[in-house]
Structure 1
Amino acid sequence: MAEEQSTKKKKKTKVEEEEMSFLDHLEVLRWHLIRAFASVFIFSILAFINKDIIFDKIIMSPKLPGFWTNRMFGKLADLTGADSLRINTSELKLISISMSGQFMTHIWTSIIAGLIIAAPYVIWEFWRFIKPALYDTERQHSIGAVFYMTFLFLTGILFGYYLIVPLSVHFLGSYSISVEVANQINILSYISTVTSITLASGVIFELPVFVYFLSKVGILTPEMMKKYRRHAYVILLILSAIITPPDVFSQIMVCLPLVFLYEVGIVISRRVQKKAKEAMDAI
């Protein structure tokens, strides 16, 4: 009887330790999330204060004729003689249709800007949380993963901002179903388009990272990616056609980096599969 009680006490103590361990992990995660959100909050405040830079120098620039991308397309049109390559030759006028429209736009845009600026730190905090659960070799690789995730995200942001956004603004801002209908673009709609495209580009450029982890758990294989390569190319081409003006050159310019990322994903998946096979053979 005494042995049974002792066994029950030991089991109870073990369960309590496991629960405390789980709660400790939640506490650690909470502080990582707090620091991540704090960084976003701080950068959002800085973006809110520096609204002239955020709006006039960054967000409003892609619709101006003097924007770098628009000028480059103009030079390309001069060289090739294809006037269809000229984009945003006239400035797009924006309007605000609600009393609090500009103020709310200011707040939400500052939050998104804070999220983009704080992204490297947020990724680093995520790595710090999972770091204790990794082996030494995995920690070394994960440090590289943090760098690549940050690099790919920021590269995607720049790609979306300097290429996809000007093309989309030109196409959507100048598209007309009838001469009787004038485009009066709401500022909230314009900024929503710019920010959503930019963030989406940053996420899409994380494709190699997603492929790595999906291959790691066995969901993706290089054979599967090769098998459905044509389907993926068609989807990428359709996506490029949607977000660019109706000319082949612009569609190819947007589609090529996406195809390149897909091919890089195949190489990454093959390397993951090779290492997994070597590890199995070593056992």
Structure 2
Amino acid sequence: MEEGKEKEMSFLGHIFELRGHMIRSVIAIFVGAILCGIFWETINNQFIMAPLSSDFFTYQMLNSLAESIGIDPIYSKSFDYSKELKNLIPAGQITAQIFAILVCGLILAIPYVVYEIWKFIRPGLSENERKHTNGAVAGITFFFLTGVLFSYFFMLPFSIQFLFSYNPFSISNEWTLSSYTRLFIQTLLGMGIVFLFPVFAYFLAKIGILTPQFLTTYRKHALVVILVIAAVITPSDVMSMMIATIPLLILYEFSVYITKYVYNKQLKSEARDLIKK
């Protein structure tokens, strides 16, 4: 009876329902932001500013790898670029801190936000669709956080090191606080979103919009699109684009495999239905 009421809900009822999910999602983000604000010093030193220092995990790992194969350390000099950041706007530090806290709050709250979105769209799905998409929340959360972590430990430190050390005009590279926070947020959220492509491919394949034939036919065109996406979500230097392009190509091939799996499963289901008839 309750399911029937959900299906017969008016358009205005859906709007009110959506509003409730959005309000709860915003509250979850603000709760996450408050937690980030409470632990701001730790988050700032150990998370936001950490990739600017030679003590960062990625730099140390690469140096250890170089030593293990008998070559000189890749990053031989000690550095801390955070000491070189400048603030040129009176309210720049306040704005940067609030923005960073909100984004960190979103990252913390993303599983719950995805859950609220799923609760909104779930009543509109058939029983069979619900059964095949029960792992949607876990899948979206996994791919998003994997993208964030990949960006944080690989793309971001390589971009920082390359852009700070690249000096063709023999002048010092001086960054502002706002430019670094924009780079930080752009790369983390950008990669988190594009890592969701396999999830989108799965859902589009389930409703018949995307097929494996389409993805394989336009594979060369997809490479151009991937390069454009890599340029948008990175600082547009060659190093960052190369690092971003590799996982995006892997995700594209993984999406081809997913659509093939869904497509073949649908063909088998249709064949069983024909046999029953």
TM class by shorter chain equals: 0.7 to 0.9
What is the Cα deviation at residue 216 of structure 1?
A: 2.9
Of residues 145-154 and 68-77 in structure 1, the stretch that sits farther from structure 2 once superposed is: 68-77
Query: Superposition pairs for residues 37-186 of structure 1, below 5 Å?
Result: 37-78=26-67, 79=69, 81=71, 85-86=74-75, 89-92=78-81, 93-179=84-170, 181-186=171-176
Alignment of 1:257-272 (within 5 A): 257-272=247-262
Q: Which is further off, 167-176 or 94-103?
A: 167-176
Q: Which residue of 2 is the match for residue 12 of structure 1?
A: none
Give the drift of 1:87: 8.6
Q: Secondary structure at the match of 2:10?
A: helix
- Supply the distance in 2 between the matched residues of 1:87 and 1:31 (Cα, whole angstroms): 54
Q: Does the 8 Å contact 1:221/1:270 carry over to 2?
A: yes
Structure 2: gaps spanning 5 or more residues: 1-6
Question: Which one of 191, 194, 201 corresponds to residue 204 of structure 1?
Answer: 194
Distance between the aligned counterparts of 2:254 and 2:188, measured in 1?
A: 21
| 1:23 to partner: Cα distance | 1.5
Deviation readout 1:50-82 (Å, 9 max, x if unpaired): 210221110000111010001112223333637
With the length of structure 1 as denominator, give the TM-score of the two structures: 0.82
- Displacement, 1:211? 1.1
Alpha-carbon distance in structure 1 between the residues aligned to 2:227 and 2:65: 22
Partner of residue 232, structure 1: 222
Structure 1 residue 27 displacement after superposition: 1.3
What code does the residue aligned with 1:141 have? Answer: H
Instruction: Give the superposition deviation at 1:113.
Output: 0.8
TM-superposed deviation, 1:136: 2.6
- Among 194, 199, 221, the residue aligned to 2:211: 221
Closer, same or farther in 2 for the Cα pair 1:82/1:243, shift >3 Å? farther
Question: Contact 1:43 / 1:117 at 8 angstroms: preserved in 2?
Answer: yes
The TM-score, its normalising length taken from structure 2, stands at: 0.83
Deviations 1:108-128 (A, max 9, x none): 111111111110000000111
> Partner of 2:135: helix, strand, or coil?
helix
In the alignment, structure 1 segments of 5+ residues that lack a partner are: 1-17
Q: Counterparts of 1:77 and 1:235 in 2: how far apart (Å)? A: 34
Residue pairs, 1:11-50, within 5 angstroms: 21-50=10-39
Distance 2:77 2:57 in 1: 11
Distance 1:257 1:88, change over 3 A: farther
Residue of structure 1 in register with 2:266 after alignment = 276
Distance 1:212 1:89, change over 3 A: farther
Larger Rg: 1
Q: How far apart, in 1, do the equivalents of 2:215 and 2:249 lie?
A: 12
1:146-182 Cα distance to aligned partner (Å, 9 max, x none) = 1111111111111111111101111122222311x32
Question: Which letter does structure 2 place at the counterpart of 1:165?
Answer: L
Residue 19 of structure 1 deviates from its aligned partner by 9.5
